[in-house]
Amino acid sequence: QEDDTFYMLLPGPPSELHPMFENEAKPLISEKLGLKEKIVSVVLRFFGIGESQLETDLEDLIDAQTNPTIAPLASDGEVTLRLTAKHEDEKETERLLKETEAQILARVGEYFYGYGDTSLVREASKALHEHGKTVAAAESLTGGMFSEWLTDLEGASSILNGSVVCYTNQVKQQVLGCREETLSSYGAVSKECALELAEGVRKLTGSDIGISFTGVAGPDTHEGQPVGKVFIGLSTKDQTDVFEWMFTGSRSGIRKRAVKYGLHHLLNLLKES
């Protein structure tokens, strides 16, 4: 302390900084400033809706709220909302947060997938475990990225039966049973191919769900399809759906976005089951 100014030195590495700030620094700052109000934040995570659309849908809530405050933040194709409330009574703080959260989810709840520092792949993994379902992937466009993300998490062996990186038409046909006439009539980057790949990998591995990725990551067009055209197939024993997307960005960005949308569609499927 010097001239009524308090100085606080904290470590740089996030793994040390975050717990030290929350457990030691924040209570000390509140004590020094004589703050009696408890400040609590909650982070809501959304996917499949852009930041501008989310803000438009919640414009009146964002403009009117002072306690809790609502702060939108976009990051890598996702949108988060940080709700922050303060009150001397901690129970009242929690009530304010729950009330505002309910108002938000009543409008954009279809895009909500989790809280805090979670991710789409963590939520998809959690949902597969909770539903007791297994998945297998046929990855042309993504080259194994979907499977890599899942296997980065512990417990993946009980939900991921396997995957096939089917980058050539030969592998699509000989391993996954994609028909030659499908490839010749519609091409590898097509709704029809994505459907057969998802069904093929599900049956090949004996999985509950088959997911497929086929598309054009660039830099050149392929089979007359533009860069960014992506088809994602989802197959169960009862139905197979194919989702068509047009993404922009770099080759790497298109592939990552395809995996995220695949996880998004998988989560929605599990929510409905």
Res. 72 pLDDT band, cuts 50 70 90: very high
Q: 147 with 266, same domain?
A: yes
Kindly tell me if the per-residue pLDDT of 14 is higher than 90. no
Is there a single domain that holds both residue 143 and residue 103? Answer: no
Q: pLDDT averaged over the chain? A: 93
Phi, psi angle pair for 71, to nearest 5°: -120, 115
pLDDT for position 30 = 73
Is the domain of 239 the same as that of 133? yes
Range of weakest confidence among 68-77, 170-179, 200-209, 243-252: 68-77
Residue at which a domain ends, from 85, 115, 145: 115
CB atoms within 10 A of CB 202: 28
pLDDT of residue 183: 98
Q: Of 229 and 67, which is predicted with more confidence? A: 229
**Pairing mode, if any, of strands 229-235 and 209-215?**
antiparallel
- Position 111 scores a pLDDT of 95
Q: Among the three residues 115, 139, 174, which one is the final residue of a domain in this structure?
A: 115
Structural domain boundaries enclosing 102: 39-115
172 with 260, same domain?
A: yes
Are 124 and 259 in a shared domain? yes
pLDDT of residue 34 exceeding 90: no
User: What band does 35 get if pLDDT is binned at 50, 70 and 90?
Assistant: low
In the predicted model, is pLDDT for residue 59 greater than 70? Answer: yes
Asked if residue 229 and residue 143 are part of one domain, the reply reads yes
Between 76 and 101, the more confident residue is 101
Would the CA dihedral through 145, 149, 151, 157 be positive or negative? negative
Same domain flag for 175 and 267: yes
Helix (H) or strand (E) holding 148: helix 145-151
Report DSSP letters for 37-80, one per residue: SEEEEEEEEEESS-HHHHHHHTHHHHHH-SSSEEEEEEETTEEE
Q: Are residues 103 and 173 in the same domain?
A: no
Tokens representing 200 are 């093929």
Question: Has residue 133 got a pLDDT over 70?
Answer: yes
Residue 258 has pLDDT above 80, yes or no: yes
User: Do 256 and 204 fall into the same domain?
Assistant: yes
* Shared domain check, 207 and 158: yes
- Written as one letter, the residue type at 143 is G
Handedness of CA 31, 34, 37, 42 (dihedral sign): negative
Q: Is 21 found in the same domain as 47?
A: no
pTM: 0.86
- Give the separation between CA 251 and CA 114, rounded to whole angstroms: 28
CATH of the domain at 64: 3.30.70.2860
For 107, the enclosing helix (H) or strand (E) is helix 90-108
Question: Residue 89 is which amino acid?
Answer: D
Q: Bridge partners of 164?
A: 138
Which token pair is 167? Answer: 């980058």
pLDDT at 36 over 80: no
pLDDT-wise least confident of 29-43, 74-88, 102-116: 29-43
136: helix, strand or coil? strand
What pLDDT, on a 0 to 100 scale, did the predictor assign at position 5?
83
| Residue-level length of the chain | 273
Q: How many domains does the chain have?
A: 3
CATH number of the domain encompassing residue 237? 3.90.950.20
Q: Are residues 129 and 237 in the same domain?
A: yes
**Residue 39: pLDDT band with limits 50, 70, 90:** confident
What is the amino acid identity at position 260? K
Does the pLDDT at position 1 exceed 90? no
**Between β-strands 209-215 and 135-139, what pairing exists: parallel, antiparallel or unpaired?**
parallel
Q: What phi and psi, each to the nearest 5 degrees, are found at residue 89? A: -95, 115
| Last-in-domain residue among 81, 115, 149 | 115
